[in-house]
C-alpha cells in the first residue's frame, strides 16, 4: 500500500490533528519580525510543526518550513537555544500574526515563501471561525521596507512604488554599524580548495569552492579520488547551459516534494532492530581493520581481505546493515565473489528492509547485472511507489534511491533530471560507499555532453 508523502500528509491531513502548542518570539511587537511556531499532535505522541518567519512591516511570510511527525521533546532539545526567547501564545494570536503579515504584503503583490503552499495547511482555514485580533502592521500603517544595503529587495521596492505609490511607503537603508534586521543568506562560492583540509572535500562543501580554483589541476590532483571526482562533478554541472541546470517554478515544486522525503525522514532505517545497529558497528570496525590490507598490486593481500569480508557476511547473514556494508564494499572494489556471498544472504530478506532493497538495486546497476527483482525501483521516480508501504524513509534509504534514479537518468540520457538528482544529493550532503561509482558515471556523461556542445558551437562558428 502506498502511503502519503510528508508534504501530501500535511496538505490533506494536518488540519485533522489537534493544535497542541503555539509560540512566538517575545519581542515580536517591538521588532515587527515574528517567528511563529504551530504544533499539531499525532496519535503516536509526535508532532508536526509549522515554523513561520513573518515580517510585519511589508514582506509578509518571509520564510517557512515544517517538521513532520517528529518527537516534541527532541525538537525542544535540539532548538533549546533558539527557543529560549519564545513564549507560548493562543492559536488565535498565532494565526492572526501570520495572516496579518501575509495579507498586508499581498496588498502590494508581495508573495509568501513558496513553502507556504504546504505550511498553510498546518494552520486553520483563514475564515470567520478564527477570532480576529488586531496586529500592528507597517509604520504608521504604511508599508516600510528596511534593507541592509541599497539594491537589496529591489523587486519589493519596485512593487511598493507601483502598488502603494510614492509618498505612501517608507524605505530605510540600515546603518552599517548595527546588525541587519533581516539577513539574507549570501551565496558563498568563494572557498579555495586549500581552505578545506585533505580528505574533506565532499558534497557538503563543494558548491562553495570557486570555479577558478576547481580548474587548478595541480591543486585538484593532490586530493583523493573521491574528492577529485566530487570537484569534477560540480565543475561540469556549472558548465552546463541554464536550460539544463535550472528548472521552472512548477518543476521546482515537484523536486521540493521529493526533497521532503529526506527533510522529514525516519530517524532510523525501516524495520532495523537495535541489535542490528550494535552488530553493524562491530562489522564496520572489522571492515576498517581489513581495509588496512588493501593493496591492488598484492594479490595475496586482496584475497585475504576478500576472505575476511566474506567470513563477516556469513557470520552476520541475519543483519541487513552488515550485509549492506559488505555488499557495497564488494561493488566499490569490484570484487564479484564477495558481492555474490553478501547478495546470497541479502536476497532472502531484502523485501523487509528498504535500506537493503535500494542497496542491491543500485549495486546491480553499477555491476551492469540485469535483475528483474528491482524493476519497480528502476521504473518509479517516487520512492513511495518504488518501495511502498512505509510512512517515512530514512536518509540512507532515500540517498541510495536518489543515486539509483541518477544512474537511470544517465542511462536514459536525461541530463536535465540527472542534474536535479545531483542537486538533491548535494543538498542532502550525501555520503556512502556507492557515491563514488555513481559520481564517476555522472562526470563521464557530463564531460561528453559538454564536449558535444562545445564541438557544435565550433562547427557553427566555422
Q: What is the pLDDT of residues 394-449, one digit of tens each?
A: 999 999 999 999 999 999 999 999 999 999 999 888 999 999 999 999 999 999 99
DSSP three-state, residue 107: coil
* Residue 48 parent element (H or E): strand 47-55
DSSP three-state, residue 130: coil
- How does residue 121 score in pLDDT terms, banded at 50, 70 and 90? very high
Q: What is the pLDDT of residue 250?
A: 77
- How does residue 183 score in pLDDT terms, banded at 50, 70 and 90? low
Q: What is the pLDDT of residue 267?
A: 87
Least confident of 204-213, 309-318, 343-352: 204-213
Q: CA of 301: how far to CAs of 144, 198, 282, 306, 315, in Å?
A: 71, 27, 22, 9, 21
Which of 180, 171, 223 minimizes the C-alpha distance to 198? 223
Average pLDDT of the chain to the nearest whole number: 91
Distance CA 224, CA 78 (A): 34
Q: Is the pLDDT of residue 178 over 80?
A: no
- Please state the φ and ψ torsions of residue 388, each to the nearest 5 degrees: -80, 165
Q: What is the pLDDT of residue 187?
A: 44
- How does residue 84 score in pLDDT terms, banded at 50, 70 and 90? confident
Q: What is the pLDDT of residue 446?
A: 95
- Percentage with pLDDT > 70 across the chain: 97
Q: What is the pLDDT of residue 301?
A: 85
Record the pTM. Answer: 0.73
**Cell numbers for 414:** 536525461
Task: Compute CA 433 distance to the chain's CA centroid, rounded to the nearest angstrom.
Answer: 19
Q: Is the pLDDT of residue 223 over 90?
A: yes
Q: What is the pLDDT of residue 462?
A: 55
Q: Enumerate the H helices of 215-347 as residue ranges.
A: 217-220, 225-238, 242-245, 249-263, 274-291, 299-315, 320-332, 336-346
Q: What is the pLDDT of residue 243?
A: 86
312/243: higher pLDDT: 312
Q: Is the pLDDT of residue 137 over 50?
A: yes
Q: Is the pLDDT of residue 234 over 90?
A: yes
Distance CA 280, CA 325 (A): 8
Stretch 333-338: mean pLDDT, rounded?
A: 93
Question: What tens digit of pLDDT does each residue of 376-399 get?
Answer: 999 999 999 999 999 899 999 999
Q: Name the region of 229 (left: φ>0; alpha: ψ -120 to 50; beta: rest).
A: alpha
Question: What tens digit of pLDDT does each residue of 29-82 get?
Answer: 999 999 999 999 999 999 999 999 999 999 999 999 999 998 999 889 888 888
Q: What is the pLDDT of residue 131?
A: 95
Amino acid at each position: 500500500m502506498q502511503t502519503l508523502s510528508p508534504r501530501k500528509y500535511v496538505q490533506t491531513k494536518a488540519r485533522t490533528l489537534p493544535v497542541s502548542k503555539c509560540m512566538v518570539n517575545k519581542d515580536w511587537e517591538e521588532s515587527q519580525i515574528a517567528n511563529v511556531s504551530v504544533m499539531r499532535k499525532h496519535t503516536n505522541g509526535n508532532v508536526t510543526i509549522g515554523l513561520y518567519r513573518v515580517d510585519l512591516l511589508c514582506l509578509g511570510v518571509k520564510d517557512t518550513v515544517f517538521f513532520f511527525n517528529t518527537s516534541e521533546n527532541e525538537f525542544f532539545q535540539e532548538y533549546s537555544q533558539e527557543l529560549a526567547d519564545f513564549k507560548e501564545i493562543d492559536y488565535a494570536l498565532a494565526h492572526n500574526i501570520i495572516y496579518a503579515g501575509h495579507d498586508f504584503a499581498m496588498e502590494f503583490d508581495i508573495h509568501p515563501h513558496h513553502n507556504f503552499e504546504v505550511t498553510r495547511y498546518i494552520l486553520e482555514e483563514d475564515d470567520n471561525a478564527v477570532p480576529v485580533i488586531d496586529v500592528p502592521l507597517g509604520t504608521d500603517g504604511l508599508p516600510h521596507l528596511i534593507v541592509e544595503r541599497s539594491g537589496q529587495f529591489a523587486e519589493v521596492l519596485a512593487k511598493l512604488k507601483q502598488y502603494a505609490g510614492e509618498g505612501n511607503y517608507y524605505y530605510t537603508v540600515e546603518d552599517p554599524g548595527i546588525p541587519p534586521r533581516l539577513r539574507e543568506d549570501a551565496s558563498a562560492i568563494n572557498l579555495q580548495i586549500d581552505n578545506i583540509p585533505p580528505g574533506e572535500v565532499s558534497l557538503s562543501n563543494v558548491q562553495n569552492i570557486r570555479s577558478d580554483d576547481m580548474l587548478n589541476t595541480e591543486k585538484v590532483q593532490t586530493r583523493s579520488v573521491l574528492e577529485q571526482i566530487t570537484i569534477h562533478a560540480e565543475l561540469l554541472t556549472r558548465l552546463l547551459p541554464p536550460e539544463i541546470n535550472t528548472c521552472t517554478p512548477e518543476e521546482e515544486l515537484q523536486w521540493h516534494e521529493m526533497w521532503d522525503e529526506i527533510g522529514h525522514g525516519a530517524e532510523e532505517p525501516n524495520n532495523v532492530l537495535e541489535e542490528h545497529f550494535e552488530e553493524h558497528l562491530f562489522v564496520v570496525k572489522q571492515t576498517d581493520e581489513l581495509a588496512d590490507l588493501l593493496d591492488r598490486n598484492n594479490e595475496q593481500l586482496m584475497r585475504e581481505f576478500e576472505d575476511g569480508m566474506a567470513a563477516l557476511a556469513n557470520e552476520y547473514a541475519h543483519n541487513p546493515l552488515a550485509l549492506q556494508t559488505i555488499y557495497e564494499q564488494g561493488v566499490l572494489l569490484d570484487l564479484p565473489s564477495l558481492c555474490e556471498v553478501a547478495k546470497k544472504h541479502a536476497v532472502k530478506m531484502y523485501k523487509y528492509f528498504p535500506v537493503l532493497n535500494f542497496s542491491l538495486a543500485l549495486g546491480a546497476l553499477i555491476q551492469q547485472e540485469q535483475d528483474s527483482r528491482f524493476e519497480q525501483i528502476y521504473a518509479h521516480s517516487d520512492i513511495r511507489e518504488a518501495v511502498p508501504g512505509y510512512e517515512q524513509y530514512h536518509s540512507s534509504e532515500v540517498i541510495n534511491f536518489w543515486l539509483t534514479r541518477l544512474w537511470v537518468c544517465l542511462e536514459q540520457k536525461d541530463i536535465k533530471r540527472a542534474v536535479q538528482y545531483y542537486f538533491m544529493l548535494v543538498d542532502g550532503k550525501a555520503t556512502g560507499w556507492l557515491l563514488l561509482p555513481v559520481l564517476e558515471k555522472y562526470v563521464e556523461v557530463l564531460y561528453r555532453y559538454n564536449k558535444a556542445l562545445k564541438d557544435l558551437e565550433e562547427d557553427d562558428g566555422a
